[in-house]
Amino acid sequence: MKTQNEFVSDYVIEPERYELHAAPIYNFNFTRRRFFKLMGGGVIIVAVVSHALAQQESGRRGGGRGGGNRPREISAWLHIGEDGTITVFTGKAEVGQNIRTTLTQVVAEELRVPVSAIRLVMADTERVPYDAGTFGSQSTPQMVPQLRRVAAAARESLIELAAEQQKVERDVLVIAGAKIKNSKTSESFGFGQITKGQKFMKTVVDSVTLTPATKWTVAGTPVPKVDGADFVSGKHQYASDVKLPGMLHGKIVRPSSYRAKLASLDTKAAEALPGVTVVHDGDFVGVVAPDSLQAERAAKAVQAQWSSGSQASDAQLFDQLKRGARVTKDTKPELGENGDQKLSATYTIAYIAHAPLEPRAAVAEWKDGKLTAWTGTQRPFGVKAELMQAFGLTDDKVRVIVPDTGAGYGGKHNGEAAIEAARLAKTAGKPVKLVWTREEEFTWAYFRPAGVIDVSATVTREGKITSWEFHNYNSGGSGIRMLYNVPGARTESHNAAGGSPLRQGSYRALAATANHFARESHVDDLARLIKMDPLEFRLKNLTDKRLRAVLEAAAEKFQWGRAKSDEQRGFGIAVGTEKNSCVATCAEVSIDRKSGKVTVVRVTQAFECGAVLNPDGLKNQNEGAIVQGVGGALFEAIRFADGKITNPRFSDYRVPRFSDTPKIEVVLLDLKESTSIGAGETPIVGIAPAIGNAICAATGRRLRSMPMAPDGLKA
């Protein structure tokens, strides 16, 4: 049993389920000579973090080594070539969160150059330093300060070199507009004039003067996606678009259900097809062919029998997750001690799918015993480690290249497609592309964990919450902390006794969505119990300044309290925090009493993540999270029976569309004096409870299962 008490620091992040077995310790022992051999002359500034900090900053778990003599690790570097071109190397991956743009902005800011002057090399294991992965909203808090440091150090180094070259005092030199200017003579030089013929290298740890947020002119502004032209023109190559000479197309013959084992196999018919090779290795069966249709035909021609025992179905899911737990089923309020009202209730959360529009895909190539894989993943080095393990390869024999990817939402931490493509390519003797079908993505990827949450609380007539007990079974401990002031509040996260019947893993905000849904729904019911306005009730029990600030900002913009809920229209509010950023969400829903159709009409969300790096990108993340959150709140659910997913298609698994999109207003609280915090996840946690509270305000019905209204509100 995993227990998390309410005093856990905001900075502690629930271990991402798929990081637990990952990451070999990986020290990049780049020598000066190797750096210049790789990149040519010029100026190289290397960001170095101590090992303990590297673990913390790269999101890696586990204690640092004790003692003062900690090894250092390279986390990023910046190169200014002899021609003045600026290239930054980082292990972070771009998956639609627009971190490429944000990181470019902070470098541009410190180097005093336009964003167009900078190129970022990301997520290529042979060209960038080790990085544990792009998850946990860590790219901004980790990589932003590191890149600011290297860029600021580069700026200072350029001045130093220019002063030497021009034989002037460094005080007379300033960098502005991508030029080094002599303030006395008004002469100016391009960076290339200074870096030409240089082999200057410097490492930075900290103690570099950084430009404060109040003085930012590039960071903190709404810079559009830096390489946006490539995306709107179809030019950008995702992993699934990569093509190599002689490349074949692969297809996997999938088991009949989860955990099924191969019982018998007949590949004759498939092998008789022109150009087809069948690959069989243990329970792995796949085919390669010159084109994807032929590969499909070959896979169908393979005669495979699979055996599996009987498995769980969604009908028994929640009983299974909670087996052996204390059960609190009473949802009727009762009188507790001291005349307090007591309310206990059980909430359930279904499995949902990430369903990134680009399914898992990889191109694998073997050349002279070395494997190169192009794939879409949030963990390039994790996938590299998986490939090394799967094929018994040493570190220098695997390279993983991650082109900017067609989204992940926490769903692309693993290298399944890369391993499969590599296995096929190994036998085929040619490069192989494998693109999972939508059905495969829905069936063989992993899901956001399902969960059962028991909550029991008491409240005084005056509106103070006096006790809080909260148990989450299976979906996890993220965002479980009780935000309101309740002495002795107890929150616990329990693993499911019998394990999860389906493969589960990370998802945007992890369990924080489930835990916020249960907490904010329950708190709303406590307010209702004593007939207090839900905003007033929350503020009465909340002292955290940041949370009060977002709550008040959202309520003000939404004009909370101006209109009253009625039978057709409801207003709901929720507040929360996760990954150290704060969110408050107000929702207006309309309900068609005849059909039971629920429409989310309007959402106002206030968000605070320290100093804002790109207000438009941040708004975009908030809007997207709200839309995605509407799906999980109202209608998304994976259905399964006997180890098979029964709705593995967009025609059966409903995701939010244009017509589901509310009018959205985002209010950003920009704290220039604070450090910048990640924002890819937290904006999703407020929408489900806000919608549930709005439905309850209109109908008096409390919906305690996510999704709340997959078929509308039944009479």
Partner 1 sequence: MPDIKELQVNGRVMPVEADADRTLLNVLRDDLDLTGTKYGCGEGECGACTVHIDGVAARSCQRKVGNLAGKKITTIEGLSSGGKLHALQQAFWDVGALQCGYCTPGMIMSALSLLKKNPSPSEAEIVRAMDGNICRCGTYGRIVSAISAAAKQIREAK
Residue type, 333: P
Candidate residues 81, 617, 643, 707; the one interacting with partner 1 per rule CB under 8 A: 617
User: Which residue lies nearer to partner 1 by CB, 627 or 677?
Assistant: 627
Q: Does 362 bind partner 1 (CB under 8 A)?
A: no
- With contacts defined by CB under 8 A, name the span among 50-58, 164-172, 225-233, 561-569 that binds partner 1: 225-233
User: Which residue lies nearer to partner 1 by CB, 300 or 663?
Assistant: 663
Q: How far is the CB of 95 from partner 1 (least distance, A)?
A: 6
Polymer length of the chain: 715
Q: Rounded to whole angstroms, how far apart are CA atoms 75 and 45?
A: 11
Q: Does 98 bind partner 1 (CB under 8 A)?
A: yes
User: Which residue lies nearer to partner 1 by CB, 362 or 625?
Assistant: 625
Q: Rounded to whole angstroms, how far apart are CA atoms 556 and 215?
A: 29
Q: Rounded to whole angstroms, how far apart are CA atoms 692 and 634?
A: 9
Q: How far is the CB of 251 from partner 1 (least distance, A)?
A: 13
Q: Does 461 bind partner 1 (CB under 8 A)?
A: no
Candidate residues 249, 254, 399, 579; the one interacting with partner 1 per rule CB under 8 A: 249
The strand pairing partners of 706, in sequence order, are: 349
Q: Rounded to whole angstroms, how far apart are CA atoms 327 and 324?
A: 9
Burial state string for 90-126 with b = 16 or more CB within 10 A and e = fewer than 16:
bbbbbbbbbbbbbbbbbbbbbbbbebebbebebbbbe
Q: Compute, in degrees rounded to 10, the torsion defined by CA atoms 434, 435, 440, 445.
A: 90
Find, among 628, 636, 639, the residue nearest to 684 by Cα.
628
Q: Does 338 bind partner 1 (CB under 8 A)?
A: no
User: Which residue lies nearer to partner 1 by CB, 208 or 244?
Assistant: 244
Q: How far is the CB of 707 from partner 1 (least distance, A)?
A: 16
User: In sequence order, what are the residues at sequence separation of 6 or more whose Cβ sits closer than 8 angstroms to the Cβ of residue 459?
Assistant: 340, 341, 343, 465, 466, 526, 529, 530
Q: What angle do CA 630, 649, 380 make, to 5 degrees?
A: 80
Q: How far is the CB of 636 from partner 1 (least distance, A)?
A: 11
User: Which residue lies nearer to partner 1 by CB, 224 or 324?
Assistant: 224
Q: SS3 helix, strand, coil % of the chain, rounded to 5?
A: 30, 25, 45
User: Which residue lies nearer to partner 1 by CB, 53 or 247?
Assistant: 247
Q: Rounded to whole angstroms, how far apart are CA atoms 237 and 145?
A: 29
User: In sequence order, what are the residues at sequence separation of 6 or more whose Cβ sits closer than 8 angstroms to the Cβ of residue 47?
Assistant: 74, 75, 76, 77, 146, 147, 149, 150, 203, 204
Residue type, 32: R
Cβ-contact 463, 540 below 8 angstroms? yes
Candidate residues 21, 184, 259, 663; the one interacting with partner 1 per rule CB under 8 A: 663
- With contacts defined by CB under 8 A, name the span among 4-12, 74-82, 132-140, 221-229 that binds partner 1: 221-229
Q: Does 659 bind partner 1 (CB under 8 A)?
A: yes
Candidate residues 2, 597, 657, 672; the one interacting with partner 1 per rule CB under 8 A: 657
Count of residues interacting with partner 1 (CB under 8 A): 60
Q: Are strands 705-706 and 341-349 parallel, antiparallel or unpaired?
A: parallel
Q: How far is the CB of 360 from partner 1 (least distance, A)?
A: 12
Three-state secondary structure string covering 534-556: HHHHHHHCCCCHHHHHHHHHHHH
Q: How far is the CB of 106 from partner 1 (least distance, A)?
A: 19
Q: How far is the CB of 629 from partner 1 (least distance, A)?
A: 8
Q: Rounded to whole angstroms, how far apart are CA atoms 530 and 86?
A: 62
Candidate residues 616, 644, 671, 710; the one interacting with partner 1 per rule CB under 8 A: 616
Alpha helix (H) residue ranges in 167-290: 191-195, 228-232, 268-271
Cβ-contact 131, 380 below 8 angstroms? yes
Q: Does 646 bind partner 1 (CB under 8 A)?
A: no
What is the distance in angstroms between the CA of the first residue and the CA of the last residue of the chain? 40
- With contacts defined by CB under 8 A, name the span among 171-179, 276-284, 403-411, 697-705 that binds partner 1: 403-411
Per-residue binding letters, 294-323, with partner 1 (x by CB under 8 A): x-----------------------------
Candidate residues 164, 187, 291, 319; the one interacting with partner 1 per rule CB under 8 A: 291
Q: How far is the CB of 275 from partner 1 (least distance, A)?
A: 11
Q: Give how far Cα 667 sits from Cα of 35, 218, 525, 553, 630, Å.
A: 45, 21, 26, 7, 19
Q: To which residue do tokens 């498939």 refer?
A: 270
Span 490-549, contacts to partner 1 by CB under 8 A: none
User: Which residue lies nearer to partner 1 by CB, 127 or 236?
Assistant: 236
Q: How far is the CB of 359 from partner 1 (least distance, A)?
A: 8
User: Which residue lies nearer to partner 1 by CB, 530 or 664?
Assistant: 664
Q: Does 61 bind partner 1 (CB under 8 A)?
A: no
Q: Does 7 bind partner 1 (CB under 8 A)?
A: no
Q: Does 628 bind partner 1 (CB under 8 A)?
A: yes
Q: Does 244 bind partner 1 (CB under 8 A)?
A: no
Q: Does 355 bind partner 1 (CB under 8 A)?
A: yes
Candidate residues 58, 75, 90, 97; the one interacting with partner 1 per rule CB under 8 A: 97
Q: Does 226 bind partner 1 (CB under 8 A)?
A: no
Candidate residues 57, 82, 314, 404; the one interacting with partner 1 per rule CB under 8 A: 404
- With contacts defined by CB under 8 A, name the span among 72-80, 151-159, 239-247, 561-569 that binds partner 1: 239-247
Q: Which residues bind partner 1 (CB under 8 A)?
A: 95-98, 222, 224-225, 228-229, 231-238, 240-241, 243, 249, 291-294, 355-359, 404-407, 409, 435, 437-439, 616-617, 620-621, 623-628, 649-651, 655-659, 661, 663-664
